[in-house]
């Protein structure tokens, strides 16, 4: 199973890159909230939506953006640590978070658990089998 560590490392790096790039799309929600609060919309439509709707969308967009970006960075750090055979616990925690995303994250999380729980891999990390 030790030969699966480089593959797992690459998968974590790719998944982290996809999350961080995809998280940028969440900034659209922030821009939409700003658009709903704009003076231009109020002038052209004659009736502006309530201010709280734009604020809610902006707040929700920022929270989701920070969460997804942190999740992506966590996967990137885990992938780099897997390549160096360090921080096994961090990779296990990252695998648990990945299980929340169905189907790709779930598959990656299960593959992470299976690979890092193998006695040969545990010995490579300096843990007792």
Task: Summarize pLDDT for 63-97 with one digit per residue, the tens.
Answer: 999 999 999 999 999 999 999 999 999 999 999 99
Measured distance CA(55)–CA(51) in Å, rounded: 6
Residues 109-121: tens digit of each pLDDT: 999 999 999 999 9
CA distance readout (Å), 64 to 54, 105, 108, 118, 127:
15, 17, 22, 35, 37
The pTM of the whole model exceeds 0.75: yes
Across 16-30, 32-46, 100-114, least confident range: 32-46
Confidence at residue 129, expressed as pLDDT on a 0 to 100 scale = 56
Q: Would you place residue 42 in the very low, low, confident or very high pLDDT band (cuts 50, 70, 90)? A: confident
- Check residue 49 and report its DSSP letter: P
């Amino acid at each position: 199973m030790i030969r699966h560590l480089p593959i797992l490392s690459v998968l974590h790096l790719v998944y982290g890159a996809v999350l961080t790039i995809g998280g940028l799309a969440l900034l659209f929600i922030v821009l939409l909230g700003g658009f709903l609060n704009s003076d231009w919309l109020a002038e052209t439509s004659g009736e502006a939506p309530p201010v709280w709707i734009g604020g809610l969308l902006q707040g929700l967009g920022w929270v989701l953006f920070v969460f997804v970006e942190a999740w992506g960075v966590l996967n990137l750090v885990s992938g780099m640590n897997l390549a160096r055979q360090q921080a096994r616990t961090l990779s296990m925690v990252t695998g648990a978070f990945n299980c929340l995303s169905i189907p790709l994250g779930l598959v990656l999380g299960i593959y992470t658990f299976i690979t890092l729980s193998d006695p040969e891999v545990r010995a490579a990390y300096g843990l007792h089998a």
